[in-house]
Amino acid sequence: MDHEKCDMKHNQMQWDALTDYVLDYAIDCARKGNRYVIVTLVRIDGSSPRYPGAQMVVSEDGSFIGYLSGGCIERAIVAEALGALTSGQNRLVRYGEGSEYFDIQLPCGSGIDLYFDVSQPTETLISIDRGLQQRCPQIMTLHLPAFRSDIASVFTVHYRPRRQLIIAGSGPSAVQLARLAIISEFDVQLLSPDAMTREHAKSLGVEVIALVSTTKTYALAADARTAVVFMFHDHLWEDAFMPSALASPAYYIGAIGNEAAHVRRREALLKSGFSQENIERIHGPAGLFRGSKSARDIAISVLADIVKNQPSAP
String of b and e for 190-210 (b: at least 16 CB within 10 Å)?
bbbbbeebbebbeeeebebee
Among positive and negative, which fits the CA dihedral 22, 27, 31, 36?
positive
Q: Please compute Rg for the chain using Cα positions.
A: 23
Give the domain 164-309 fold.
Rossmann fold (3.40.50)
In which band, very low, low, confident or very high, does the pLDDT at 6 lie, cut at 50, 70 and 90?
Answer: very low
In which band, very low, low, confident or very high, does the pLDDT at 102 lie, cut at 50, 70 and 90?
Answer: low
Cα–Cα distance measured from residue 79 to residue 222, given in angstroms and rounded to the nearest whole number: 42
Q: How far is CA 220 from CA 108, 229, 237, 243, in A?
A: 45, 11, 14, 9
pLDDT at res. 45: 87
Which stretch of DSSP H or E encloses residue 65?
strand 64-66
231-261, pLDDT tens digit by residue? Answer: 998 888 988 889 999 999 999 999 998 899 9
pLDDT at res. 13: 47
Cα–Cα distance measured from residue 185 to residue 174, given in angstroms and rounded to the nearest whole number: 17
Chain mean position to CA 185: 5
- Of the given ranges (56-70, 99-113, 144-158, 165-179), which has the lowest mean pLDDT? 99-113
Written as one string, the DSSP assignment of 182-197 is HHTT-EEEEEES-HHH
Cα–Cα distance measured from residue 235 to residue 255, given in angstroms and rounded to the nearest whole number: 9
- Of the given ranges (9-13, 46-50, 275-279), which has the lowest mean pLDDT? 9-13
77-91, pLDDT tens digit by residue? Answer: 999 999 999 999 999
User: How many Cα atoms occupy the beta-carbon half-sphere of 221 within 13 Å?
Assistant: 11
How much of the chain, in percent, has pLDDT values that exceed 90? 70
- Virtual torsion, Cα 74, 80, 84, 89, nearest 10 deg: -100
- Mean pLDDT score, 62-86: 92
- Listed by start position, the domains of the chain span 2-160, 164-309
Question: Mean pLDDT for the chain?
Answer: 90
**Which residues 6+ apart lie within 8 Å of 234 measured at CB?**
214
pLDDT at 150 over 60: yes
Q: Which of 226, 228, 174 is nearest to 198 (CA)?
A: 174
Q: How far is CA 191 from CA 78, 87, 99, 199, 297, in A?
A: 43, 52, 53, 11, 21
Residue type, 307: V
pLDDT at 15 over 60: yes
pLDDT at res. 11: 38
